[in-house]
Structure 1
Amino acid sequence: MPSATPTGTVERPAGPPGPAAARASRWRRVGGQVAWRTLLAVVAGVLLLLAFPGASLPLLAPLGPAVLALAVHGQRARSGAWLGLVAGLTFFVPLLSWSGIFVGALPWLALAGSQAVFLALLGAATAATSRLPLWPLWAAALWVGQEALRGRFPFGGFPWGRLGLSQTEGPFLAFAAYGGVPMVGFALALTGTLLAAAVLALRRGGRRAAALTAVGALAVPALGGLAWLPLPGSSLTAGGPTRTVAVVQGDVPQPGLAFNERRRAVLDNHVQQTIGLAEAVAAGEQPQPDLVVWPENSSDIDPYRNDDAAREISRAADAIGAPILVGAVVSGPGEFVSNTAIVWEPGSGPGDTYVKRHPVPFGEYIPARDFFRLFSDKVDLVRRDFAAGDEVGVLELGGARVADVICFEVVYDGLVLDAVRAGAGMLVVQTNNATFGYSAESEQQVAAAQVRAVEFGRSVALASTSGISAVIAPDGSVAAASGLFEPAVFVEEIAQRDSRTLAERLGAGPEWLLSALGAGALLAVAVPALRRRRTRGGAA
């Protein structure tokens, strides 16, 4: 008879996983968390990019800080640095793509990478302070702090792409009149970090806390809407005695670096457009201007040394019967050249000048030329370094006192502030964007000029060799604008205003205060951490 003893096997209950399996499970969890947080950082960079001219969706700007805050919340500083770097590269690489159009990828990627490093620092600092009470406030202040650093270091900084410069309309733009670009950036970042806090509160089940935080986020743009009420409107003529201003865009023979090789053609274009305006004035088709603004590089032939160039400019000034603000490249001092604005009077020729105070590193001069030549021979495209001017850019011509800045100087707070404080009734931006082709660079520069208009309550006349030239009202609205790579002339009556905004009175004060708040929060985390480390070291 067969045995009744069971012959199958019985599975034993599973025990706890071994150390190897536990480690693998932990790494899978960590890897998954890193992946989705990195994806959030990419989304943050994309949202920042979409807010700027190009896509021109400025109301998306708060969502960039919001998503980055969600990505780094509760993380270690080194993880925050990685996430900030990812967001920074996602943002700056496409934003600054115009910088490599005619000089190659290396300068473009080096510039974008150097700017992304500051967002890496921001990511680390935001992560480190994300467990503090009121962390959305500290995170917003840290945005201002990293932009303050980025605008000053290295080589004098490059404050292009600051959060506040994304705003060309809407409630946040009004904050420029009360604290400049840093205050606009702070308002945008605070809105974003409060939205992030609301999302985190909702995930924890705190519906009441989430609702209150969301209300706080909405209160920031609501306050911005109210802040518009006492500010100047879209009128170019209200607020002071007027002067008739002509902006001339002569155009260049072709986009790119080759415009430098056809300097006489560029000068002739501006002369002919001005003489054409004089004929229109004589025919009663245009009003007689009090002053004419030519762009940067409108005469790359030094009119002090070249008699023919001087005669052509004088011919244009005499024809229009008004002083011309000429953008010229002038030899000297010594072995250098100078990016110079010259007031050219009809009958008498050159008068007062302004020399660009902040030449562009690697564009107008090469720091440590021998060292950087090891990486690219493109540094020798800049054959002679430009010297920096040492006087504030305020000039008098045609009965107007104008604050003049040249090209990228429009994004440097202190340079514009100095000129306005010197008693300017309007702003002038002279620029040459021919080297950036058909890109968003010109739109981004116009956007910066729009923010400056609101910041100082002044109209802005922006003259470009090849576009975009524009006339901007004190509320930041564009009254007239040209296209790219076409000749254009605008004639507008513009008030010479003498009112002072709070932003002008406070200067860099709001930026320093907000940066100090962010630094204080960072110290509140760092000092106890250092003490704990020392205590553990002593105990060991």
Structure 2
Amino acid sequence: MRKPDLARYGAAAVAGGALALSFPPRTLWWLAVPAFVVFWLVVKGAGARRSAGLGFAFGFAFFLPHLWWIQHFLGDDFGPWPWLVLSALMALFICGVCALFPLVARLPAAPVWAALLFVLQETLRGLIPFNGFPWGRVAFGQVDGPFARLAVLGGAPLVTFAVVFTGFGLAAWFPRWTRAWALVPIVAALAVSPLISIEAQTGQRTVAVVQGNAPDLGLGLLTEGATLRDNHLRKTAELAALVRGGALPKPDLVVWPESATRTGDRDPVLDAAITDLGVPTLVSALRDGQNSVITWDPETGAGESYAKQELVPFAEHIPLRPLARIFTPFADQADLDAGTEPGVLDIAGTRVGVGICYEVAYDYVLRESAADGAQLLVVPTNNAWYGRGEMTYQQLGMARLRAIEHGRAVVVAAISGVSAVVRPDGSVVRSTGMFTDDLMVDTVPLRTDLTFATRFGGAIHVVLTGLALAACPVALWSRRRARRAPGSGPRRTGED
């Protein structure tokens, strides 16, 4: 490999690493823009094969640190291979669309089309293989910056497009006056600020989160189900005592984290705990082969429930089971059954939208909840598998973006932290630590207005991906037409 190529690949890797640094728990959201500036400069003028290679270097350098928590989860038992293979697989999606960059570089406003292709790869890796893995979308790193405000218009796809286009546009059009167009997304983000409100529209609810904690054992949690249940029953009894003693206000609603217990339709111990508390509770439990959230009334017991729709591949459902034994400890466990209904539950006089753990990364789950009348969003999760790394903060960033997107308060209930209360503007008003038992009580606003993203976010996503898909045939047609034109000669592929 020639020295100029080494420099290009090195710069692409540095840009990917900078993008990783832009994500929570850091608040370096702004690093994403220079990351894409550098990436555009390194792919500038490159052919399809080299652009693909540079895209892989960028993607691999991004996903390796971003997904380090998988190594904490599986590394002791399976070595680095699950982490390395997943990072490489995700990087291949970026590699694939980057191979098309030289083609769309022939079109006017090339940075627009290249940014659309980047949105396309995020869409594809959220769908395939095995229902996809939508982690690490650029938008999820923007919750502390102004670009996140665009989520109220078009959700995560629009935020990703805005960030990538800004970086590509600044690089491609500098120093010409047309570079000002690259600043349109940031101006638009500032302009939509009045659309984001934290005011209650249908009252407020005092919500308590029971964080019972879990041992930091990684795969050892497979045998700790009884411990998790006991921890949350004990912490619920503590909440009841504190409320009776006046140390805490009596909540209107209590939330348990994901898979805090196993239960059936009849559970006398759980009945007694919630009756003693005297507050309707959302119990997150494994029941009847499903990962569920169940409404539990202090007088009538278990009621309606929501079952997780997006199951984690190779954990909650096992594709390619014989091969899966190489890299997952769950290969011999029965698959969970996926739910089919939107996550909306009526409890404590409130319509609550639910997305369980991994589902917060999927656009449609909480969008359907909000569109179906949810006044408040709840995300129960179990991140104890992944230790003290960045995974729980990355997921909290997703929940914060969903708050802005749908104009709803979001309550995150994590079994070992970080649990949080998020305002409809994405700001965190209260949170817990990691690997500690805790109780969190706060008042949240209930809202009913549907944001533009809730109403039309799915359509906007289709338009963005449709434009990306159309860009390549249009570019091919344009190239063939130019070749047939009298007096036409070879044209250099470039960034303009």
Which TM-score tier does this pair reach, normalised by the shorter chain? over 0.9
Instruction: Give the drift of 1:316.
Output: 2.0
Q: Tell me the SS of whatever aligns to 2:73.
A: coil
TM alignment of 1:72-91, pairs within 5 A = 72-91=43-62
Q: Report percent identity of matched pairs.
A: 39
RMSD: 2.0
Instruction: Give the drift of 1:226.
Output: 2.0
Instruction: Give the counterpart of 1:475 among 425, 429, 441.
Output: 425
Instruction: Give the drift of 1:530.
Output: 7.3
Instruction: Give the counterpart of 2:134 among 159, 166, 183.
Output: 159
- Unpaired segments ≥5 residues, structure 1: 1-29, 203-208, 332-336, 535-540
Match of 1:246 in 2: 208
Instruction: Give the drift of 1:131.
Output: 3.1
Q: Deviations over 1:152-204 (max 9, x none)?
A: 111111111101111122211110000000111111011111111134xx4xx
The alignment's TM-score, normalised by the length of structure 2, stands at: 0.93
Give the distance between the partners of 1:382 and 1:470, measured in 2 at CA: 34
Q: Aligned pair 1:131/2:106, yes or no?
A: yes
Q: Aligned pair 1:114/2:89, yes or no?
A: yes
TM alignment of 1:166-315, pairs within 5 A = 166-199=141-174, 202=175, 209=176, 211-213=177-179, 215-233=180-198, 238-299=200-261, 301-304=262-265, 310-315=267-272
Q: Deviations over 1:40-63 (max 9, x none)?
A: 211220111011114331111122
Instruction: Give the drift of 1:225.
Output: 1.5
Instruction: Give the drift of 1:371.
Output: 3.6
Q: Deviations over 1:469-493 (max 9, x none)?
A: 0000000000111111001111122
Q: Tell me the SS of whatever aligns to 1:102.
A: helix
Match of 1:46 in 2: 17
Q: Residues 171 and 222 of structure 1 are in contact (CA less than 8 Å); yes or no, is this contact kept in structure 2?
A: no
Q: Tell me the SS of whatever aligns to 2:224.
A: helix
Instruction: Give the counterpart of 1:323 among 280, 296, 303.
Output: 280
Q: Residues 152 and 195 of structure 2 are in contact (CA less than 8 Å); yes or no, is this contact kept in structure 1?
A: no
Q: Deviations over 1:196-252 (max 9, x none)?
A: 1134xx4xxxxxx1x440x3333421321121123114x6xx232112211111101
Give the direction of change, closer, same or farther, for the CA distance of 1:280–1:442 in structure 2 (3 Å limit). same
Larger relative contact order, structure 1 or 2 (CA cutoff 8 Å, min sep 6)? 2
Q: Tell me the SS of whatever aligns to 1:475.
A: coil
Which residue type is aligned with residue 248 of structure 1? V
Match of 1:430 in 2: 380
- Of residues 453-462 and 142-151 in structure 1, the stretch that sits farther from structure 2 once superposed is 142-151
Match of 1:36 in 2: 7
Q: Tell me the SS of whatever aligns to 1:295.
A: coil
TM alignment of 1:373-522, pairs within 5 A = 373=325, 376=326, 378-381=328-331, 383-522=333-472
Instruction: Give the drift of 1:140.
Output: 1.4
- Unpaired segments ≥5 residues, structure 2: 485-496
Match of 1:358 in 2: 310
Give the distance between the partners of 2:45 and 2:154, measured in 1 at CA: 31
Instruction: Give the drift of 1:319.
Output: 1.7
Give the distance between the partners of 1:453 and 1:184, measured in 2 at CA: 14
Q: Residues 145 and 511 of structure 1 are in contact (CA less than 8 Å); yes or no, is this contact kept in structure 2?
A: no
Instruction: Give the drift of 1:346.
Output: 0.7
Give the distance between the partners of 1:55 and 1:128, measured in 2 at CA: 36
- Of residues 120-129 and 435-444 in structure 1, the stretch that sits farther from structure 2 once superposed is 120-129
The alignment's TM-score, normalised by the length of structure 1, stands at: 0.85
Give the distance between the partners of 1:400 and 1:492, measured in 2 at CA: 16
Give the distance between the partners of 2:370 and 2:217, measured in 1 at CA: 33
Q: Aligned pair 1:348/2:300, yes or no?
A: yes
Give the direction of change, closer, same or farther, for the CA distance of 1:377–1:226 in structure 2 (3 Å limit). closer
Pairs aligned (count): 481
Larger radius of gyration: 1
Give the distance between the partners of 2:320 and 2:230, measured in 1 at CA: 36
Give the distance between the partners of 2:408 and 2:420, measured in 1 at CA: 14
